[in-house]
Amino acid sequence: MSKLQAYIDERKELNLQELVELLKIPSVSTDPALAGDVSNCARRMGELMTEAGLETEIFETKGHPIVYGERLEAPGAPTVLVYGHYDVQPSDPDDQWDSPPFEPTEKDGYLYARGATDDKGQFYALIKGIQASREVNGKLPCNVKVLCEGEEEVGSPNLDPFIRKELDRLSCDIVFISDCSQFGIDMPAITYGLKGLCYLEVFVKGPSTDLHSGTFGGSVANPANVLTCLMAACQGPDGKIAIPGFYDDVRPLEDWERAMMAELPFDEEEFRKSVGAVKVFGEAGYTTLERKGARPTLDINGMISGFTGEGAKTVLPATASCKFSMRLVPDQDPDKIATLVSDFLNEMAPDTVEVEVRPHHGASPVIVSRDGTAVKAAEKALETGFGNRPVFVREGGSIPVVNTFQEALGAESLLVGLGLPDDNLHAPNEHFRIVDFHRGAVTMAAFLEEYGKGGD
Amino acid sequence: MSKLQAYIDERKELNLQELVELLKIPSVSTDPALAGDVSNCARRMGELMTEAGLETEIFETKGHPIVYGERLEAPGAPTVLVYGHYDVQPSDPDDQWDSPPFEPTEKDGYLYARGATDDKGQFYALIKGIQASREVNGKLPCNVKVLCEGEEEVGSPNLDPFIRKELDRLSCDIVFISDCSQFGIDMPAITYGLKGLCYLEVFVKGPSTDLHSGTFGGSVANPANVLTCLMAACQGPDGKIAIPGFYDDVRPLEDWERAMMAELPFDEEEFRKSVGAVKVFGEAGYTTLERKGARPTLDINGMISGFTGEGAKTVLPATASCKFSMRLVPDQDPDKIATLVSDFLNEMAPDTVEVEVRPHHGASPVIVSRDGTAVKAAEKALETGFGNRPVFVREGGSIPVVNTFQEALGAESLLVGLGLPDDNLHAPNEHFRIVDFHRGAVTMAAFLEEYGKGGD
């Protein structure tokens, strides 16, 4: 592998500079005002994939474009489909960033920018690995297909139809995804479980306009008061979710999983400090690692009502709303949970206000097999790239497309995280460790070599 | 009174135009960015008071200026202190106004603008009444002092010290205030009870930064989840406030009050329609009028946490906050209630987050005497101005300074509302009935005449 390592070492500055250019584009998929930037990012990603040796095409969708590339030059060898996304989360609250979210900034070996780790940085490391493998070996040792979408952060509404329409084009033996994280610094991981997602928004409507809280208080229901009661009713004591039936389909953690998680070198106090909370918290009866990776949760993501400016205003608000989401585990079904929770809220709602529950996106939870040649090849490749063998973990995030790959293509996914658990993804000051960007490229190239040999 | 009526009829257009000019000035006292406009409004109000025949002076304070005027030319006659305020509530949400909040607009006999009724319009009607009385009679039949402040909407932090320092200047027999409302169209009212206020803001702090709700959900407490539980705990079933001890000092409604309120021509269905709620709501065991005017309430005034923009963002917010206020009735004490509620929230707060409760402003509830020559004179004056004798009511709003006048000057307040109950004060599309602006001026002039005679 020394030739490969040398090749990547030599290109480090160039590779990083290309990533920096991608990160400068504010490809926030949820914001209609930035649709042009999302498109530009797709075009630029396509150009860079072409430069990396892939035959690239951009597919328009009803939403943001899909970038696809392939190089099929290893007859008889297996086919790897690399998946990633070039869209990013919104950057707000912008005033909490130490450097502007779309002006990538290097500091202490990390690159700070929205999308640095989720997912531009991780995904582009794989592209650079594919390029390295090809240039060092003259040709790729596996057939490689690359699918990069622009709507992951809004639930991939147009990816599913695309995959189901392009089954031949996308057919593969394994899907390779780097959109999660290592277990810790220099501790690579293979993620075998992901949580699902059920994201809802509840709107409470009271009077037709904001009212003076003195003149009208006590005469009509206050939508904000009602909202707090509704959301509080979803939560039981001890961190349990109090919605009846919510846990019905939850697959219990297996003994071997709990044993394996207990052995992971997780320092709870260190973790607590890193997130800045006064205490860890979650469902009673489970360790923090179990709750993070393998137990369902309910979090309010955003909430607003009435006067939120400077000072005090004595208003009885006309409306109140709350975005909240539940992370699901096997075998919970996001549609079934959405119905369950909507019904619960509608039943709890007093008849003094109007309550509407609207679904945003959902995703099914997933557990993938830990056996097979691809997993073995990934274990070796991570050891080559990072110097350590990977641990096996379950993560709290959701990658909805993993289910689609399974159903539509019959392909399992290899989830090889290159980021770190405290990379601040979806939050201010998102960052990516620069050395891991380069190691990720080495890992991808090593994986193609191992997997091309049959994984032995 | 026909000479007075004729004088005011003749000046209608001019008086209204002067009010329109005052309403154009965005004197929002809570917004530091508009401090210059607040100052300008004070200066303009002073000029208009001078033109109305008062010797006027502007007193600077640590906050916004106080405008004071007087004309003491009735030796032996009683002294009336007219109180009002030239500051206004914020105008947001601006997009819900049918016409811009600071571009006064006439429509169907009403004048629409922030401050139209609260309190520029009502206060300026009194000024025009004083002027009319003087011009028609050659001199004023009572001694008149006028105090107009610029911080009523932020709890009058600098008015109390001013009053206590200027006891001689402000000494009077009665305070006359028009900062509330009639009972209905052509149904003037004298308000003998006002609620007090205890306005608090609670801040819940969780992790040091917003976190990915997938990766971190289930590992640390979510401040927004906690906030909803805290606020829900303040509310019991049936609209009761669930904070232990909250009702301890509440003076029960007297039988004669309940009987009087029951006789008022209040159409609950009409009221419900006017506020646009699907149902009226409030504390069980009391009528809507009783709850509005004479029972304590708790309303969330504003609440914010996490992502509140377009679309969905899977964030576990670092903070959540809520502004809320309780309207108090005799004999509740705002400081005691603030302590009670803060203690309750701090005790309820889990040790997984940091909770801080900050007080905004407070005001004591008040009940004034219904006897005495000033009340009798006001009854007659309202009949002259509006053609009907007034009813006696209790209102849900707070006018904190009423307590100070009682304590510092030993003077009771006459609360003579010129607005209407659905004037949208503190809300979009605030408005004032133009005919009542002119009737208010007649009423003020008639009051000075009646009260100057000794009220018989």
pLDDT digits (tens, 9 = 90+) for A389-406: 999 999 898 887 888 998
- Where is B298: in which H helix or E strand? strand B297-306
Which residues in chain A have their CB less than 8 angstroms from residue B320's CB?
Answer: 300, 303
Q: Are A224 and B234 in contact (CB under 8 A)?
A: no
Cα separation, B20 vs B343, in Å, equals: 46
| pLDDT tens per residue, range B37-75 | 999 999 999 999 999 999 999 999 999 999 999 999 999
Alpha carbon A172 to its chain centroid, in Å, reads 22
Q: Are A154 and A400 in contact (CB under 8 A)?
A: no
**Token pair in block for residue B218:** 């289930």
Q: What is the DSSP string of A124-167?
A: HHHHHHHHHHHHHHSS-SSEEEEEEES-GGGT-TTHHHHHHH-H
Cis status, amide bond into B92, omega within 30 of 0: no
CB spacing of B275 vs A229 below 8 angstroms: no
Chain A closest-CA separation from residue B171 CA (Å): 29
Q: Number of Cβ pairs closer than 8 Å across A and B? A: 381
Residues 6+ apart with CB under 8 A from A340: A243, A245, A246
Which residues in chain B have their CB less than 8 angstroms from residue A195's CB?
Answer: 214
Which residues in chain A have their CB less than 8 angstroms from residue B327's CB?
Answer: 213-214, 217-218
Cis status, amide bond into A93, omega within 30 of 0: yes
Nearest alpha-carbon partner for A78 in A380, A382, A451, A456: A451
Interface probe, candidates B225, B274, B348, chain A, greatest A C-beta count within 10 A: B225
Q: Coil, strand or helix: which one is B333? A: coil
Which residue in chain A is spatially nearest to B297 when comparing CA positions?
A218
Residue B321 one-letter amino acid: S
For the cut 80, the answer to whether the pLDDT of residue A455 exceeds it is no
Residues 6+ apart with CB under 8 A from B256: none
For the cut 60, the answer to whether the pLDDT of residue A234 exceeds it is yes
Residue A282 CB neighbours (<10 A): 23
**Token pair in block for residue B238:** 């049936």
Phi, psi of A337 (to 5 degrees): -65, -40
Interface probe, candidates B191, B215, B272, B357, chain A, greatest A C-beta count within 10 A: B215
Chain B closest-CA separation from residue A113 CA (Å): 15
CB spacing of B426 vs A300 below 8 angstroms: no
| Least CB–CB distance from A219: residue in B92, B288, B322 | B288
CB spacing of B210 vs A281 below 8 angstroms: no
CB spacing of A280 vs B89 below 8 angstroms: no
pTM: 0.81
Comparing A105 with A399, which gets the higher pLDDT? Answer: A105
pLDDT, mean of each 10-residue run, chain B (456 residues): 89 98 97 96 98 98 98 96 97 94 98 98 98 96 98 91 97 95 94 94 97 94 98 94 98 94 93 95 96 97 96 94 97 97 98 97 86 92 96 88 91 95 90 98 97 73
Considering the candidates B18, B37, B87, B179, report the single residue annotated as catalytic. Answer: B87
Which residues in chain B have their CB less than 8 angstroms from residue A191's CB?
Answer: none
pLDDT of residue A296: 98
Count Cβ neighbours within 10 Å for each residue of B377-398 and write b for 16 or more, e otherwise. Answer: bbbbbbebbbeeebbbbbbbbb
Chain B closest-CA separation from residue A168 CA (Å): 33
Q: Coil, strand or helix: which one is B104? A: coil
Chain A closest-CA separation from residue B250 CA (Å): 15
CB spacing of A231 vs B228 below 8 angstroms: yes
Residue A88 one-letter amino acid: V
Residue B297 one-letter amino acid: T
CB spacing of A421 vs B212 below 8 angstroms: no
CB spacing of A217 vs B299 below 8 angstroms: yes
State the alpha helices, DSSP H only, in A166-307: 167-170, 213-216, 223-233, 255-263, 268-275, 288-294
CA torsion through residues A101, A102, A105, A109, sign: positive
Instruction: Name the CATH superfamily for A2-194+365-452.
Output: Zn peptidases (3.40.630.10)
Q: Coil, strand or helix: which one is B58? A: strand
| Least CB–CB distance from A219: residue in B231, B280, B301 | B280
Q: Are B373 and B455 in contact (CB under 8 A)?
A: yes
| Least CB–CB distance from B305: residue in A89, A280, A303 | A303
Which residues in chain B have their CB less than 8 angstroms from residue A317's CB?
Answer: 300-302
Q: Are A77 and A141 in contact (CB under 8 A)?
A: yes
Residues 6+ apart with CB under 8 A from A354: A204, A205, B278
| pLDDT tens per residue, range A160-208 | 999 999 999 999 999 999 998 999 999 999 998 999 999 999 999 999 9
CB spacing of B315 vs A302 below 8 angstroms: yes
Q: What is the rounded (10 degree) CA torsion for B265, B266, B268, B273?
A: 100
- Where is B139: in which H helix or E strand? none
Band (pLDDT 50/70/90 cuts) for residue A363 is: confident
**Token pair in block for residue B259:** 């009987």
Q: Please list the active-site residues of A.
A: 87, 152
Cα separation, B64 vs B155, in Å, equals: 12
Task: For residue A176, give the DSSP letter.
Answer: E
CB spacing of B314 vs A301 below 8 angstroms: yes
Q: What is the CATH number of domain A196-259+291-363?
A: 3.30.70.360
CA distances from A88 to A35, A38, A181, A414 (A): 12, 9, 16, 22
Nearest alpha-carbon partner for A303 in A230, A240, A354: A230
Cα separation, B242 vs B246, in Å, equals: 8
Considering the candidates B37, B70, B149, B152, report the single residue annotated as catalytic. Answer: B152
CATH of B196-250+296-363, one of 3.30.70.360, 1.25.40.20, 2.60.40.10, 3.40.50.150: 3.30.70.360
Chain A closest-CA separation from residue B187 CA (Å): 17
pLDDT of residue A1: 54
CA distances from A53 to A3, A60, A71, A385, A443 (A): 19, 22, 7, 22, 18
| pLDDT tens per residue, range A110-168 | 999 999 999 999 999 999 999 999 999 999 999 999 999 999 998 889 999 999 999 99
Q: Are A413 and A376 in contact (CB under 8 A)?
A: no
CB spacing of B219 vs A352 below 8 angstroms: no
Fold of B2-194+365-453: Aminopeptidase (3.40.630)
Q: Are B116 and B23 in contact (CB under 8 A)?
A: yes
pLDDT of residue B1: 54
Alpha carbon B165 to its chain centroid, in Å, reads 24
Cα separation, B247 vs B329, in Å, equals: 10
Which residues in chain B have their CB less than 8 angstroms from residue A228's CB?
Answer: 227-229, 231-232, 235, 300, 303, 322
CB spacing of A208 vs B276 below 8 angstroms: yes
Chain A closest-CA separation from residue B196 CA (Å): 9
**Token pair in block for residue B233:** 């705990």
Q: What is the DSSP string of A305-347?
A: EE--SSS---EE-SEEEEEEEEEE-TT--HHHHHHHHHHHHHH
Residue B39 CB neighbours (<10 A): 17
pLDDT of residue A147: 98
CB spacing of B309 vs A31 below 8 angstroms: yes
| Least CB–CB distance from A429: residue in B209, B219, B278 | B209
Chain A closest-CA separation from residue B360 CA (Å): 7
**Token pair in block for residue B264:** 């008022």
Beta partners for residue B205, in sequence order: B319, B354
Residue B87 known to be catalytic: yes
pLDDT of residue B144: 98
CB spacing of B214 vs A201 below 8 angstroms: no
Which residues in chain A have their CB less than 8 angstroms from residue B30's CB?
Answer: 309-313
Domain ranges of chain B: 2-194+365-453, 196-250+296-363, 253-289
pLDDT of residue B53: 97
